[in-house]
Amino acid sequence: MIRLPICTLAALAIFSGNDLHAASMDAETLAVIRVQPLLKEKCLGCHGDDPDKIKSDYDMRTAEGIFKGGESEVAAVVAKQPDQSPLYLSVLRDHESWEAMPPKDSEALSAEQIAWIKEWIAGGAPWPDEARKAEIAKHADKWLNADGITVATSGALSDEWANRRYKPEDLWAYQPVQKPRIDSGENPVDALLSLHRPQGLDNAPAADARTFIRRATFDLTGLPPTPEEVSTFAAAFDRDADVAVRQLIDRLLDSPHYGERMARHWLDVVRYADSSGFANDYERGNTWRYRDYVIRAFNDDKPYDQFIREQIAGDEVAPDDPEMLVATGFLRMGPWELTGMEVAKVARQRFLDDVTNGVGETFLAHSLQCARCHDHKFDPVPTQDYYAMQAVFGTTQLAERQARFLKEENTAGFEEQAYLEKRRKAYQAELRRINAIQLDAAEAWLKENQIDSAPYQSALARVKTSDGDRPDFGKVRSILVKQGLPEDQIPPRKVGFTPEEYGRERVARKGLERLAWEMDRYQPVAFAVYDGKTPDIKSVYKPMRMPDKPMAKGELEQTAILAGGDPFAPIQEVKPSVLSAVEYFNPECTANIPDTPQGRRKALANWIAHASNPLTTRAITNRLWLWHFGQPIAGNPNNFGSTGKKPTHPELLDFLAAALVEKGWSIKQMHRLIMNSAAYRRSSAHPDPKTLAEKDPLHQSYAAFLPRRLTAEELRDTMLAATGELNPELGGIPVRPEMNLEAALQPRQVMGSFAPAWVPNPKPEQRNRRSIYVQKIRGLRDPFMEVFNEPAPDFSCEAREASTVTPQVFSLFNSQGSSNRSLALAHRVLTEDPDRSDRAVIDRLFQLAYGRDASGDEQQACVEHWKRMTKKQEGLTPHRIESPTEVVREAVEENTGEKFTFTETLFAYQDFVPDLQPADVDARTRALAEVCLVLLNSNEFAYIY
């Protein structure tokens, strides 16, 4: 028995039906109450708001204009004759001579709205004067209350918007969370799901032990169960399935890999990457510490409200705790840079817009950017609220702050910086070489142009050098310039340059600049923020450190509403605040955000993490549901607004939201609640697929579990787990496995230069870490990951996709990587027990790949294939695969427009220990690798049921 709160969303919805039909309103009332606001909302944007840009000359600001029509010179409204009135004909959208209006299909008038216009014209198209309008408006409420409710917000740009009516069901997310009471002993998840189960549709039975452990293990760790775990669980499941499931879930929640799996979900939402994106795409040396913070937070079951506070305001909560500084990396996860090409204020505004929207999407399931230029078109978010939220970040500044390493952090492997040092030396040597060319060329130039070389020689002598270096030509030249020598007496800046030198000089100079960012990886520094004035900087070409006195220099920003989002067009100052609609519906959820430079974010975080903030608790529990069932309860986890999909099971969502707070914001308790439900344990095979397809075409009943394909990261990690190569170490600096060699060495333009190649870690155990630790460069995606739907870190990813496209086959079936994994798997199975029979070998392969034994048919087919392939392999002599130690790159130089080449030494490759190669093993192993390749490509490997 379920008791739903009286004021549930369902109950509210009853009032939203339109009881009062348009026909019951006289035409005059209709004009005032319906038609005028409708035309204003739907038409004036193009036909009057900007008098200088009126589309098709149809000016709808006045009655006269509305009736007269536009450039067609046909009257737009013919009283009493809707069928002769272009205004009416165009909103029908299918008339042959009148273009559909409004132009966007998504903004088409509803049938009811069209009927208003028709009735109004049929009724003579009256247009009451102001006095009459005021008289009618007095009684408007009796009509308008049926339309929906108003929401008092902080302020709107127009009265129309302020008085706008909302359908209550569109405001579902703002309503206080109402926890249904479950009196039966049933799992509440199952009880609440059954409220919406179509009549006549039965649930599928529970999944078998092997299917379930595979599902649960992947869901909580992103890894497959070992064959031993499968058999142990199957035995326990036979004894008592409920107990076995409960114990399994507890065990998995205790696994350190649980945090990695949850962090992967979280990092999708917050757009984690190890580089800044855009023109420079500089490395963000320290973001790995934020990644590890997230993993630890989940592993420690950090209460979610605390998790929120730390990421938004860790530095304000506990400024001396390095962990808290690291947590604020969240605020900077979006792509950002400031180059000299850009206006600093515009770049600053990009950060402010990014962080405002990012906080909205991540924690509140609100895409706030829609209110950047105008009051939100559909939701009760005035642009005032947008800038009030933004004002919270008006004193938030970006810096890589000192933060000592914690004992929990993995600081192993820092010795790899020796390779970066080698690169630094190579760049310096290249610059010295070019300098020498320039010095020689300068002398030749002086001679050739018969210019007195005395000033040059004396300048040369004045430039200090170290250890036998020749003087720097640039310095020599600037001495001459400072002396006021005429330009035609000074050797040109680029004297002696061929196209090669132009290109190589840039590569070396910019390469040194980029190295500073990479070297930051090993520093006790946090990718973080601080409170203070906005510093006056024009460009950022090296990591930013925090100033000693954050309030000493720069501008104390005064946030204002910006016309069209333009930072040079402030309209009206705003104070820091929060979404006023939430406060309107939840009076106890208020925020008092100080106007002082410090403490704004802490106050915002407390408001977001307030137990009665309905957006916050619904947003995270909706995500948790998605992470288990492959689809969310409310269809757009980043957007609970009225255009987002409504919850399919609102009572369940509310139950989960309330339960989260009751359980002390424990995420692990939520997993227990969800995963012990019958719905989660259900088989994906429904006994009556026909009825299922008929009654539940959109897969919303949860009558059968939805299968899913492994994500890109799971595919790679699972292959490594099967081969036994996976290094399960936690945390630490980013790792670089091999990627497709052509992509790795692909020249890639960054501002003024080319980014260095992707060079893998030398040792297999460094490369074979879990995918979450792989360095993520925005401008250089691993093609394997990309093709298997790893989201780009530019936008927040609310849910992964899993499309089936042909390039996936090339990546998984043809790549060197798959080939290496297959060989490693074959080698493992043949060497771990050399006495295995052929059939036992195949069984073991199936266990490692699928968690089960092979059937008789499968054994036979695989053994036959193996034998056939052995014969083929016996006739082949595989070559040893050589790793490159340098790469010659070809590109077009921007000063000359000509091609140039440069050689990049790949230092880490000099110590490279390759994976097992075909040349290392016999024909039988190579042949078995073909069987392995097939298994790793099979559907059973790629899907979870």
Partner 1 sequence: MKTPFPCAGSRALHAPTRREFVYGMGASLGSVALSSLMAEQSAKAGPLTPKDGHVAPRAKRCIFLMMEGGPSHIDTFDPKPTLDRLHLKEFVREGQQKSAMESGKRYYVRSPFEFRQCGESGAWMSEPWQHLAEVADDLCFYRGCQVDSVNHPTAMYQMNCGNRFGGDPAIGSWVTYGLGSVNQDLPGFIVLPELSYPQGGSANWGNGYLPAYYQGTTLRPKGSPILDLQPPEGVTPDIQRANLDLLGQLNQSHYQEHRHHSELLARMESYELAFRMQMQVPEVMNLDNEPDSLKEAYGIGQDETDAFGRKCLLARKLVEQGVRFVQLYAGTWDSHDYIERAHGNLIHQVDQPIAALIKDLKQRGLLEDTLVVWCGEFGRTPDNGVRGGGTAYGRDHNPKAMTIWFAGGGVKAGHTIGLTDDTGMEAVECVHHVRDLHVTLLHLLGLDDNKLTFYHGGRFKQLSQFGGQVIQDLIA
For partner 1, the binding residues in 187-246 under the rule CB under 8 A are none
Does the protein bind partner 1 through residue 258 (CB under 8 A)? no
Q: Of 815, 883, 885, 905, which lies in the binding site for partner 1, with binding defined by CB under 8 A? A: 815
Question: What is the CA angle 883-888-892, rounded to 5?
Answer: 145
Q: Are 648 and 700 in contact (CB under 8 A)?
A: yes
How far is CA 765 from each of CA 181, 687, 817, 918, rounded to the nearest angstrom? 52, 46, 15, 19
Does the protein bind partner 1 through residue 837 (CB under 8 A)? no
Q: Among 19-27, 579-587, 659-667, 788-796, which window interacts with partner 1 (CB under 8 A)?
A: 788-796
Does the protein bind partner 1 through residue 157 (CB under 8 A)? no
Does the protein bind partner 1 through residue 279 (CB under 8 A)? yes
Q: Are 907 and 419 in contact (CB under 8 A)?
A: yes
Q: Among 243-251, 433-441, 514-522, 806-814, which window interacts with partner 1 (CB under 8 A)?
A: 806-814
Output the smallest distance, CB 325 to partner 1, in A.
Answer: 27
Q: Of 83, 892, 913, 922, which lies in the binding site for partner 1, with binding defined by CB under 8 A? A: 892
Does the protein bind partner 1 through residue 937 (CB under 8 A)? yes
Does the protein bind partner 1 through residue 862 (CB under 8 A)? yes
By C-beta, is 414 or 813 nearer to partner 1?
813
User: What is the torsion angle, in degrees rounded to the nearest 10, for the CA atoms of residue 421, residue 426, residue 429 and residue 433?
Assistant: -160
Distance CA 587, CA 573 (A): 25
Distance CA 399, CA 415 (A): 25
Please count the CA atoms within 13 angstroms of the CA of 275 that sit on its side-chain side: 21
Distance CA 352, CA 358 (A): 10
Which residues from 360-419 bind partner 1, rule CB under 8 A?
367, 370
Does the protein bind partner 1 through residue 780 (CB under 8 A)? yes
Q: Of 50, 794, 833, 922, which lies in the binding site for partner 1, with binding defined by CB under 8 A? A: 794
Which residues from 561-580 bind partner 1, rule CB under 8 A?
568
Cα 413 off chain centre by: 28
Q: Among 232-240, 444-452, 463-471, 927-935, which window interacts with partner 1 (CB under 8 A)?
A: 927-935
By C-beta, is 414 or 568 nearer to partner 1?
568
Does the protein bind partner 1 through residue 158 (CB under 8 A)? no
How far is CA 180 from each of CA 148, 654, 672, rounded to the nearest angstrom? 25, 8, 19
Distance CA 640, CA 618 (A): 9
Distance CA 775, CA 467 (A): 38
Q: Among 295-303, 462-470, 654-662, 935-943, which window interacts with partner 1 (CB under 8 A)?
A: 935-943
Dig out the tokens for 485 from the structure.
């020598």
Q: Of 160, 186, 321, 342, which lies in the binding site for partner 1, with binding defined by CB under 8 A? A: 342
Give me the residue label for tokens 């008791």: 3
Output the smallest distance, CB 279 to partner 1, in A.
Answer: 5
Reduced to 3 states (helix: H, G, I; strand: E, B; else coil), residue 777 is: strand
Output the smallest distance, CB 359 to partner 1, in A.
Answer: 16
Q: Are 78 and 117 in contact (CB under 8 A)?
A: no
Does the protein bind partner 1 through residue 344 (CB under 8 A)? yes
- Nearest CA to 331 among 401, 281, 406? 401
Q: Among 69-77, 444-452, 619-627, 792-800, which window interacts with partner 1 (CB under 8 A)?
A: 792-800
Q: Among 240-248, 297-305, 632-640, 721-729, which window interacts with partner 1 (CB under 8 A)?
A: 632-640
Does the protein bind partner 1 through residue 898 (CB under 8 A)? yes
By C-beta, is 36 or 811 nearer to partner 1?
811
Cis peptide before 102 (omega within 30 of 0): yes
DSSP state of 572: E
Distance CA 686, CA 197 (A): 14
Q: Among 124-132, 309-317, 408-416, 891-899, which window interacts with partner 1 (CB under 8 A)?
A: 891-899
Output the smallest distance, CB 328 to partner 1, in A.
Answer: 22
Q: Among 159-167, 436-444, 607-615, 805-813, which window interacts with partner 1 (CB under 8 A)?
A: 805-813
Does the protein bind partner 1 through residue 319 (CB under 8 A)? no
Question: What phi and psi, each to the nearest 5 degrees, are found at residue 528?
Answer: -145, -165
- The mark string for 526-545 relative to partner 1 (x by CB under 8 A, - otherwise) is ------------xx------
Q: Are 715 and 214 in contact (CB under 8 A)?
A: no
- Nearest CA to 668 among 312, 413, 307, 909? 307
By C-beta, is 226 or 749 nearer to partner 1?
749
Which residues from 494-523 bind partner 1, rule CB under 8 A?
494
Output the smallest distance, CB 487 to partner 1, in A.
Answer: 6
Output the smallest distance, CB 914 to partner 1, in A.
Answer: 13
Which residues from 35-74 bind partner 1, rule CB under 8 A?
55
Does the protein bind partner 1 through residue 341 (CB under 8 A)? yes
- Nearest CA to 170 among 585, 607, 630, 577? 585
Which residues from 740-759 bind partner 1, rule CB under 8 A?
740, 742-743, 746-751, 754
Q: Of 795, 831, 888, 922, which lies in the binding site for partner 1, with binding defined by CB under 8 A? A: 795
Q: Of 801, 833, 886, 911, which lies in the binding site for partner 1, with binding defined by CB under 8 A? A: 801
How far is CA 925 from each of CA 227, 234, 634, 672, 877, rounded to the nearest angstrom? 22, 32, 50, 44, 13
Q: Of 676, 896, 905, 910, which lies in the binding site for partner 1, with binding defined by CB under 8 A? A: 896
Distance CA 430, CA 425 (A): 9
Q: Among 187-195, 225-233, 337-345, 432-440, which window interacts with partner 1 (CB under 8 A)?
A: 337-345
Output the smallest distance, CB 632 to partner 1, in A.
Answer: 11
By C-beta, is 5 or 455 nearer to partner 1?
455
Q: Of 243, 346, 418, 461, which lies in the binding site for partner 1, with binding defined by CB under 8 A? A: 346
Q: Among 35-43, 164-172, 258-266, 856-864, which window interacts with partner 1 (CB under 8 A)?
A: 856-864
Output the smallest distance, CB 527 to partner 1, in A.
Answer: 20
Strand pairing partners for 79?
none
- The mark string for 633-662 relative to partner 1 (x by CB under 8 A, - otherwise) is --xx-xxxx-xxx-----------------
- The mark string for 473-492 relative to partner 1 (x by CB under 8 A, - otherwise) is --------------xx-x-x
- The distance between the two most distant Cα atoms of the chain, rounded to a whole number of Å, is 103
Distance CA 304, CA 362 (A): 13
Q: Which amino acid belongs to residue 211?
A: T
Which residues from 692-731 bind partner 1, rule CB under 8 A?
692, 704, 707, 709
Distance CA 852, CA 210 (A): 8
By C-beta, is 232 or 498 nearer to partner 1?
498
Output the smallest distance, CB 147 to partner 1, in A.
Answer: 22
How far is CA 740 from each of CA 90, 103, 297, 792, 906, rounded to the nearest angstrom? 55, 46, 33, 18, 16
Q: Among 75-83, 725-733, 736-744, 763-771, which window interacts with partner 1 (CB under 8 A)?
A: 736-744
Output the smallest distance, CB 787 to partner 1, in A.
Answer: 8
Does the protein bind partner 1 through residue 935 (CB under 8 A)? yes
Dig out the tokens for 833 from the structure.
């027990």
Q: Of 110, 450, 466, 804, which lies in the binding site for partner 1, with binding defined by CB under 8 A? A: 804
Distance CA 945, CA 939 (A): 11
How far is CA 214 from each of CA 275, 654, 826, rounded to the nearest angstrom? 34, 29, 22
How far is CA 682 from each of CA 190, 207, 502, 686, rounded to the nearest angstrom? 11, 5, 65, 9
How far is CA 724 from each of CA 25, 211, 731, 942, rounded to the nearest angstrom? 76, 22, 19, 18
Binding-residue total with partner 1 (CB under 8 A): 115
